[in-house]
Amino acid sequence: MNLNQVTLPVKNMDEATGFYRKLGFLQIVDTPHYARFECPVGGSTFSLSLNDGDFNNGAIIYFENEKLDDLVDKLIAKGIVFQQMPTDMRYLWREAVLHDPSGNKIKLYWAGDNRLNPPWKVEKRA
């Protein structure tokens, strides 16, 4: 199996799509209630779904970038606000944290080989 996409709820589609395009994603579907984006590397997609009511999304979406610090600097120059600048985490990932206009939590990160092969990995393929 392979993960196809994650869909995030949003309160304002125009505001949300503008935000994700500013982050560098390519918008491939555009409707008043649904949008889909392609990641710049790897061919993964994610989507946005307009939610009329209030919501509290506890999910966190992660986007990986080997040049995390440079990416964060470029996004700050575009006006993107971060709640956490790139920080080395105890679990061997470097992460920056931000929120989209609807409050969805986003982590931009780089983990290198530790993403799939952390020192504490419990299941190994033969």
* Domain edges within the chain: 7-113
Question: Three-state DSSP class for 37?
Answer: strand
User: Residue 79 — left, alpha, or beta (φ > 0 → left; ψ -120 to 50 → alpha)?
Assistant: left
Q: How far apart are CA 35 and CA 38, in angstroms?
A: 10
pLDDT tens for 51-65 read 988 888 899 999 999
Residue 37: how many other CB atoms lie within 10 Å: 21
pLDDT tens for 90-123 read 999 999 999 999 999 999 999 999 999 999 999 8
The average confidence (pLDDT) of the chain is 95
Written out in words, the top-level CATH class of the domain with range 7-113 is alpha beta
Residue 88: how many other CB atoms lie within 10 Å: 9
Phi then psi for 70, rounded to 5 degrees?
-65, -40
